[in-house]
Structure 1
């Protein structure tokens, strides 16, 4: 038979309420020696917290529910879950996820998550975008991660796309690169904001913005890594033209990988002939390219940790959009 709170209380010579306080973070007035003795007895008996009973008392399970908007299919966006899980475990909580994709309705998935009576619920997306939640969901979702609610009704943690593009463009300019081009991700919010940061850095540096092209990485209106690529065509056209760029900024590391291949076919050296920089820091790509790629690492793990802190906070926080900085990972491509 599993040990119970009554068993521990009988051996320790204290009340069940005192045992519960020692094991579940209760009474702050308890003597530390008493707390340690109770914890020791519980360990000897192999006591395991009855989560169902605890849920009945508290009204919630020690869980954080996560609505994962295609998140689990992304190899680097899983850093969000790692950050969230690490911070949750530090608070003796666990994370469980339910995926949202295809024709699954947001409201229905949220109701499924609520059946488990989690302490709090987060909504996370695979890529930075805006999301329209049902009216009822704004009081259910505690934080949105890597996305923001269309009407701004939920606190959101998003990457500072514009700031990251501004920083990496300045870095290229400070490396004495004056003829830049940006092969960007069309039709998505990240690409739109990164273009703003790119252009702002050019203007601030006094460079001719009109002479610095921003080109789509794919033939479709909305970027997908499965869409027909235009990267090789753009690189060949620019590098064989009368005024080839001396730096290429890429919308993500997959685009950068294609740029490397196109430059190699043309006999151009990185970074001697042209510098290459990117976004995302997909380590399996960026660190294995030759030379390794300088790129801006998304703050996914930080977003996960911050989300846990927000969800477990005793005080509700007002809805706002918090933009978290990328981290530059300098390698040898600039």
Structure 2
């Protein structure tokens, strides 16, 4: 049967049909299938009713069930552009997997960042009586919590400016620490940070820079402002920023680059290759994001940090479902693991001790 035929067949099967098939009253069927049979109805009769319901394809009315339980078993996920971009789709996969495992349906609405659409979407989800909402953003942001969110809602890859809601974000400061430690551990002292533009409002930019500075201090390395370069966070920006650094005199040129994201790292590869520099023999590079079709495909494959998109999506859904506890006063910061590939090595021998 096609979908229409299945729906038609299911619509014809009533509770009275189950009662007739099991040889019991409709009231008995109602009690058994609602889970209220308890000790009033024998285990044998309850088993007979359930077998009959399964045999004839009875499906309980979800609307009636929601009126009884005050639960629709639906969770609304409201995002800006996650569903229409390739970068963060695993957040949706993580949230959807968790919802399905616990018998819930995830309803996705993508507003493309339009506030008017966002208000309409919240009203629509509220009208559908979703049990909770997940408010998600494409990348780590501090946001003003919209009005009308359902009780028990969760923020995903963003955190409300005034707190008060459970939230999960990547631990970008710790990520900056981990990335810089990879390079220090390899013996590098002249480490540059290719950062996002000033005033861009990118929360991760400052957090990763804080982690970078922390590790330099731990290693006794005096930060050189000339090695903190800001540019657009795409391949062109990375190429320009890395090119300016690699054109410095050899004695002050960085031997390693920590790039804000993998696209900037891709541009840095181009800048290095154009100057006859080999990675990692002459220059080590660490990226961020573990972006599909970039990090593992570069030559050599890029050492980077993975944004835990799937895990954050699962966490948010589990909190929304009440399967996990969260502190609404403090966002949960999820670790970004290092993905080690082939772009990090020791500095060139003549530069190792400088």
Change (3 A) 1:63 1:28: farther
Please list the CA deviations of residues 125-173 of structure 1 after superposition, one character each: whole Å capped at 9, or x if unmatched.
0010011124544x54610000000101211111000001101111111
Residue aligning to 1:128: 140
Residue aligning to 2:338: 328
Deviation of 1:69 (Å)? 1.8
Map 1:260-299 to 2 at 5 A. 260-299=269-308
Deviation of 1:269 (Å)? 0.7
Measured in 1, the distance between the counterparts of 2:262 and 2:43 equals 53
Choose from 311, 314, 323 the match for 2:320: 311
CA contact (8 A) 1:180 1:212 kept: no
Residue aligning to 1:11: 21
Residue aligning to 2:4: none
| TM-score between the two structures when normalised by the length of structure 2 | 0.83
1:238 aligns with 2:221: no
| TM-score between the two structures when normalised by the length of structure 1 | 0.88
Deviation of 1:239 (Å)? 1.6
Q: Which has the larger radius of gyration?
A: 2
Deviation of 1:211 (Å)? 5.8
SS in 1 for 2:216: helix
CA contact (8 A) 2:192 2:228 kept: yes
Map 1:36-185 to 2 at 5 A. 38-100=49-111, 101-104=113-116, 106-137=118-149, 140=151, 142-185=153-196
Residue aligning to 1:190: 204
Residue aligning to 1:301: 310
* Stretch of structure 1 that moved more, 108-117 or 160-169: 108-117
Measured in 2, the distance between the counterparts of 1:32 and 1:209 equals 74
Q: Which runs of 5+ in 1 are unaligned?
A: none
Deviation of 1:217 (Å)? 2.3
Residue aligning to 1:254: 263
Change (3 A) 1:245 1:317: closer
Measured in 1, the distance between the counterparts of 2:267 and 2:22 equals 67
CA contact (8 A) 1:106 1:133 kept: no
Measured in 1, the distance between the counterparts of 2:248 and 2:153 equals 52
Measured in 2, the distance between the counterparts of 1:172 and 1:145 equals 31
Measured in 2, the distance between the counterparts of 1:311 and 1:79 equals 18
CA contact (8 A) 2:122 2:148 kept: no
Stretches (4+) displaced over 4 A: 26-39, 314-318
Change (3 A) 1:315 1:85: closer
CA root-mean-square deviation: 2.5
CA contact (8 A) 2:243 2:268 kept: no
Q: Which runs of 5+ in 2 are unaligned?
A: 1-8, 345-354
CA contact (8 A) 2:158 2:168 kept: yes
Higher strand share: 1
